[in-house]
Amino acid sequence: MTRTVYVNGEYLPETEAKVSIFDRGFLMADAVYEVTSVLGGKLIDFEGHAVRLKRSLDELEMAEPCSKEELLEIHRKLVELNGIDEGLVYLQVSRGSDGDRDFVFPSEDTKPTLVLFTQNKPGLADSPAAKKGAKIISIEDIRWGRRDIKTVQLLYPSMGKMMAKKAGADDAWMIEDGHVTEGTSNNAYFVKDGVIVTRPLSNDILHGITRKAVLRMAEEAQLKVEERLFTIEEAKAADEAFTTSASAFVMPVVEIDGVALGDGTPGPIAKRLREIYLEESMKEAI
């Protein structure tokens, strides 16, 4: 089925959607994005994604393409037009183009480019991958220093996923100065003696929307959470581990660099947090 996508005010078949070859998103990765999940035809934590999008735009002095209310309407319309029950809405805003290539930002009246499309993912909540758990490898983190801004500079994360695939694993966690930063497209956690450990927020990692919700839910469920730097050795010696993201919710990790965690199956805390997250976030979906 041909998807209906959104480009700068128009709903179009995907085959007819066009963006300029001079667009700075294409030429310079001068663009930010958000991925919002859809469960039961409704958006999970739209508000969180809208707030982070505004922050990313502000940090890069990029204009807002439209209001939050309009963004919500576009998300909802695309979900409806494409009949999405479970899946994702991808949104990208770039600084646009004034018709040429130049390192200097274009003038302020240049319109940002706004693109949205849906991805149909039946079985996203009841995922076989989550039942099995993920195997991860560790790789060096060589990304730029503003990982708190959700830019489309995804070449290294993409290479990281390929390194994992070649090693027979599912994903990679990145390490900088001896400490784990995050996964290629998710935040990273381990659990030892009942305590959930994850890296604190800073410019070194993306401020995950799922992370925020899961940490709140963990505390409400009386689980102990420690936000601190940690090494891959600590994670390998953990009872269990997991990642969080809008596209995979809470994903148990069962192996790190070939070392099985616990009995090599998804741990009880990761499984419980996944259940709580799905249940709670669906209640508040819009």
The set of catalytic residues is: 150
Burial class of residue 46, CB neighbours in 10 A (0-12, 13-18, 19+): buried
When asked if residue 201 is in the footprint of ligand PDD (CB under 6 A), the reply is no
Q: 239: closest CA among 230, 252, 222? A: 252
When asked if residue 118 is in the footprint of ligand PDD (CB under 6 A), the reply is no
In the list 245, 251, 256, 278, the residue contacting ligand PDD (rule: CB under 6 A) is 245
Stated length of the chain: 286
When asked if residue 56 is in the footprint of ligand PDD (CB under 6 A), the reply is no
Residue 28's φ and ψ, nearest 5 degrees, are -130, 10
Whether the CB-CB separation of 211 and 188 falls below 8 Å is answered with no
The span of 23-31, 56-64, 133-141, 182-190 binding ligand PDD (CB under 6 A) equals 182-190
**DSSP per-residue letters across 128-180:** HHHHH-EEEEEEE----S-TTS-BS--HHHHHHHHHHHHTT-SEEEEEETTEE
State the nearest-atom distance from the C-beta of 208 to ligand PDD, in Å: 3
**Residues within window 211-240 making contact with ligand PDD, judged by CB under 6 A:** 211
63 versus 201: smaller Cβ distance to ligand PDD: 201
When asked if residue 210 is in the footprint of ligand PDD (CB under 6 A), the reply is yes
State the nearest-atom distance from the C-beta of 188 to ligand PDD, in Å: 9
When asked if residue 185 is in the footprint of ligand PDD (CB under 6 A), the reply is yes
Q: How far apart are CA 94 and CA 113, in angstroms?
A: 5
Please work out, in degrees rounded to the nearest 5, the angle formed at the alpha carbon of residue 248 by the alpha carbons of 204 and 263: 95
When asked if residue 87 is in the footprint of ligand PDD (CB under 6 A), the reply is no
When asked if residue 206 is in the footprint of ligand PDD (CB under 6 A), the reply is yes
Residues that bind ligand PDD in the complex, under the rule CB under 6 A: 35, 182, 185-187, 206, 208-211, 244-247
